[in-house]
Amino acid sequence: MWRYVARRVGLVIPTALGILVAVFFLIRLIPGDPARVIAGERATTEQVEAIRHELGLDQPLPVQFWRFLGGVLQGDLGKSIQSKVPVVEELLDRYPATIELTLAAMLLATVVGVLVGIISAVYRNTLLDWGSMTLALLGVSMPVFWLGLVLLMVFAVDLRWLPAAGRVDPRLGWRGATDFVFFEMLLRGQWTVFVDAFRHLVLPAVALASIPLSIIARMTRSTILEVLGLDYVRTARAKGLSERVVIFKHVLRNALLPVVTITGLEVGLLLGGAVLTETVFSWPGIGRYIVLAIYARDYPVVQGGILLIALAFVVVNLVVDLLYAVIDPRIRYA
Amino acid sequence: MSLFHRRSRVGWLTAGAVALGLLVSACGGAKQPQTPPAQQGGQQAAQQEQAKPAGPKTLVWGRGGDTVSLDPIQPTDGESFKVINQIYDTLVRYKAGKTEVEPALATDWQASPDAKEWTFSLRQGVKFHDGTEFDAEAVKFNFDRWRDTKNPYHKGGEFAYYSYMFGGFDDKSVIQDVQVVDKYKVKFTLKRPLAYFLQNLAMPMFSIASPTAIKADPEALGQKPVGTGAYKFVDWKKGESITLEANPDYWGGKPKIDRIIYRSIPDNNARLLALQSGDIDVMDGVEPNQLQVIQSDDRFQVALRPAMNVGYLAFNMDKKPFDNPLVRKAINHAIDKKAIVETLYAGLGQVAVTPLPPSMWGWTDDVTQYPYDPQKAKQLLAQAGFPNGFKTQLWAMPVPRPYMPQPEKIAQAIQGYLKEVGIEAEIVTYEWATYLEKTGMGEHTMALLGWVGDNGDPDNFLYVLLDKDNAKGPDAGNIAFYRNDQLHELLVQAQEIPDQSRRAELYVRAQKIIAEDAPWVVLAHAQEPIVMKKGIQGYVPNPTGSEPLYQITLP
């Protein structure tokens, strides 16, 4: 077991290094010059050159890369070209929003997805099954931003049940020690703000969860159906166990293995989907911030942001693999 | 493994139809015209009423992006200046809705006859938000920080606008020296006459910040601004909102609204939804098609910002056949500007006859004009030696700008008009930063572009965009690469005369020359709509792009 863990953790470092190189050079392949963006539509060559020098962009690429790498190793991602604020600070300001949204979506997708999958499998080939699988198909194929806009129009504009934008109504004037408004207000028991934050979270979480929820539901259904056909299930039933016990005690553990993998992968995809969701719902998270930074050619921000997301992806996958080993003894000893 | 085995097709279809029906009805519901709101503007507003019984009067301003920095001299984006305008004051400011200046932190001023020395008397008894007294020292401190690259506080960014408006730093700066005459008198000495010096000082970038705050940490001012303005900075949640509160001691009187909150809602549709659902009170960055939706909704009113911009099609005169004036005139006649403005500017455009917007002093329409006349265009092309037209490229911007709301559609329209007179123009576009770079280097043949004025002075249009001084790559302001010595002399002369009426005469002559040479097709000036709840009063948008809000009242 421990050898497996060590091997798996060891892989993280080369992966991260690969990401660093890719991000650094890819962003620089996009034509356009951050110095020009800063200088605005109306600067002289001299001004642009001065800014380029100021930012160290007049150095050869390898030199820039070494500087960047050296900074990363010391936990310094440089300063945002636009705002001059250290990138780490800028990202920390926005990461909580993305984490809260991703967690909410993940929770929704997993719990509801698995439940729908179980129900579909148990009541297979009934109208219930067809209905939920059709919805799942729709959920997978619907573009997130389009679904987001529809949700907005229905629930925020027409019905006025939920707010249309942001994380919390700024009119409430909330101040927190952290940017985890949802968790912090929950722990502090500031219910007015918490309820408002919750109401803001519903629509983006549903929109973001739509794809993974559908995938998890379909996956759960098919693996359960597969396991149900196995001999040991027949034995269990033959022993006279009730269907509920069979499903929850005997079938689920085996059936959920692939679901765990998918869930892990989905977390990574969620971070990607968050870009669209964050844009539609004006969610002040990291995805939207990176997109804006790409437009402004804010290299340090893009590098730092993508690095963080990629690392999150790597870590989640690591956790999934380790969980796998915990759930299924066969993997540990392979 | 098959996900859907053993499934009857009929069941599929039924379930699918049901689901689709649900979806369609949901969308249909969304497309229905707005139901008139309840008296209280829906549940949410009602909840807020409960949340703050007679709480502070708050205005929520929804916009497309977040501020970059609140150190006035650092940013170059409008979203930063909107907020800076509330927190800080300048020495002089623009009159409500106009580009002429009036007293602000300076109450009175004199220029020497050669326009090289300017002496300002300052308002007394003004304090910065941190309690620091505002005086001549504070003015000198700010200007020295901006100008002198060796100044210990010349930190926190590139100071782009200082170098842009005053020619550079250190020895290059037009401002040579700022002297404290006495506690409330300050004297600027300029290297050369600068007729539009006052106009520059009214720009929000040259707002005066608290020396105490800058000395504590010049790099922190961008995040924790301290000015003398009508509103104090409270809190900035990145990417989300900036909250300001009224400064009760403001020299212009206590603001009528207690709190202003700027919210960033980047998606235009989402921002409109937020306005309709009452999450925000004001919305800017309105798209033409949204304007129609809003105008049919009696809960809202529209304020129009007078144009201080120009959208144009520039010919690259360094490239054939655009070196030939007949070709340029022909294309000017070939394009129906009026139709373009009527159909693609959503009723917010004015057809342009010169590069200057009509609201600006010095503007004239007594110049050569080019009415839509395809026959005449063909005739001129034949005269120029192109009886069958020619092939070329038409460069179009990838993003809507204030002066050109729908660049791709405008490009297609122009392409159609050109085709009618035999010119085959292929539309070319690049991502925005790249587009600016390539046009600045003169890679284009014809390119759509535009300009938003800075300081409300004609020089800022005519000299910047059409003087031979700026017809040089790699970042030409004059992307027509139009070089006319006679024009150059007029423009340079006008930079040195402090008398506005004499300058205006020179600019009228300049516009005549430009119209005759036709380096551009001047297309349009666009007004910007700002939409707000009915009942909000006292909001006067300024042509320069942002304005103080302390005189606004809420219902």
**C-beta neighbour count of A62 within 10 angstroms:** 8
Report whether pLDDT(B5) > 50.
Answer: no
Q: How many residues does chain A have?
A: 334
Kindly state the tokens that stand for B277. Answer: 């659902």
Q: Across the interface, do A134 and B16 touch by the CB < 8 Å criterion? A: yes
DSSP state of B95: P
d(CA B483, CA B519): 9
For residue B42, the chain A residues in CB contact (below 8 A) are 160
Q: Which residues of A245-280 are buried (b: 16+ CB within 10 A; e: fewer)?
A: ebbeebbbebbbbbbbbbbbbbbbebbebbbbbbbb
Q: Between residues 241 and 270 of chain A, which touch chain B (CB distance below 8 Å)?
A: none
Mean pLDDT of A83-87: 88
Q: What is the pLDDT of residue A272?
A: 67
d(CA A38, CA B315): 27
Q: Give the range among B93-107, B226-240, B282-296 with minimum mean pLDDT.
A: B282-296
pLDDT band at residue B541 using 50, 70 and 90 as cut-offs: very high
Q: Across the interface, do B158 and A50 touch by the CB < 8 Å criterion? A: yes
Q: What is the pLDDT of residue B51?
A: 44
pLDDT band at residue B479 using 50, 70 and 90 as cut-offs: very high
* Tens-place pLDDT, residues B291-312: 888 988 999 999 999 999 999 9
Burial (CB count <10 Å: 0-12, 13-18, 19+), residue B357: buried
Q: What is the pLDDT of residue A55?
A: 78
Q: Which of B363, B283, B329 is nearest to B529 (CA)?
A: B283
Q: What is the pLDDT of residue B54?
A: 53
pLDDT band at residue B16 using 50, 70 and 90 as cut-offs: very low
Q: Across the interface, do A130 and B235 touch by the CB < 8 Å criterion? A: no
* Tens-place pLDDT, residues B323-376: 999 999 999 999 999 999 999 987 889 999 999 998 888 999 999 999 999 999
Could you tell me if B18 lies within 8 Å of chain A, comparing CB atoms?
A: yes
**C-beta neighbour count of B472 within 10 angstroms:** 16
Residue A14, min C-alpha distance to chain B (Å): 33
Q: Give the range among B296-310, B367-381, B402-416, B423-437 with minimum mean pLDDT.
A: B423-437
Report whether pLDDT(B53) > 80.
Answer: no
Comparing A46 with B5, the larger pLDDT belongs to A46
Q: What is the pLDDT of residue B331?
A: 97
Region class of B70: left (phi > 0), else alpha (psi between -120 and 50), else beta = alpha
Q: Across the interface, do A135 and B19 touch by the CB < 8 Å criterion? A: yes
**φ, ψ (nearest 5 deg) of residue B253:** 105, 155
A/B interface, count of CB pairs below 8 Å? 211
* Tens-place pLDDT, residues B240-284: 899 999 999 999 999 999 999 999 998 888 899 889 888 899 999
Mean pLDDT of B411-438: 92
What is the full DSSP assignment across B129-159? TTSPBPSHHHHHHHHHHHH-TTSTT--SS--
Comparing A115 with B35, the larger pLDDT belongs to A115
Mean pLDDT of A92-104: 89
Could you tell me if B17 lies within 8 Å of chain A, comparing CB atoms?
A: no
Could you tell me if A171 lies within 8 Å of chain B, comparing CB atoms?
A: yes
Give the contacts of B393 (CB within 8 A, at least 6 positions apart).
B425, B426, B427, B428, B444, B445, B446
* Tens-place pLDDT, residues A35-67: 777 676 666 677 778 778 877 888 888 888 888
d(CA B20, CA B271): 28
Report whether pLDDT(A105) > 70.
Answer: yes
> Per the confidence metrics, is the pTM higher than 0.95?
no
Mean pLDDT of B521-549: 93
In the block, tokens 């405008």 appear at B410
- Taking a C-beta distance cutoff of 8 angstroms, is the pair B427, B414 a contact? no
How do strand B259-264 and strand B58-63 relate by DSSP bridges?
parallel
Gyration radius (Cα) of chain A, Å: 24
- Taking a C-beta distance cutoff of 8 angstroms, is the pair B266, A279 a contact? yes
pLDDT band at residue B42 using 50, 70 and 90 as cut-offs: very low
**φ, ψ (nearest 5 deg) of residue B538:** 85, 15
| SS3 (DSSP) at A284 | coil
Looking at chain A, the whole-number percentage of residues with pLDDT higher than 90 is 15
* Tens-place pLDDT, residues A120-139: 998 888 999 999 999 999 88
To the nearest whole number, what is the mean pLDDT of chain B? Answer: 88
| SS3 (DSSP) at B445 | coil
Query: Cα–chain-centroid distance for residue A125?
Result: 33
Q: What is the pLDDT of residue B47?
A: 42
Q: Across the interface, do A221 and B276 touch by the CB < 8 Å criterion? A: no
d(CA A179, CA A168): 11
Q: Across the interface, do A135 and B276 touch by the CB < 8 Å criterion? A: no
* Tens-place pLDDT, residues A258-276: 788 778 777 777 776 788 8
Q: Give the range among A150-164, A263-277, A290-304, B347-361 with minimum mean pLDDT.
A: A263-277
What type of residue sits at position A11?
A: L
Helix (H) or strand (E) holding B262: strand B259-264
| SS3 (DSSP) at B314 | strand
Positive/negative CA dihedral, B220, B221, B226, B232: negative
Comparing A288 with B144, the larger pLDDT belongs to B144
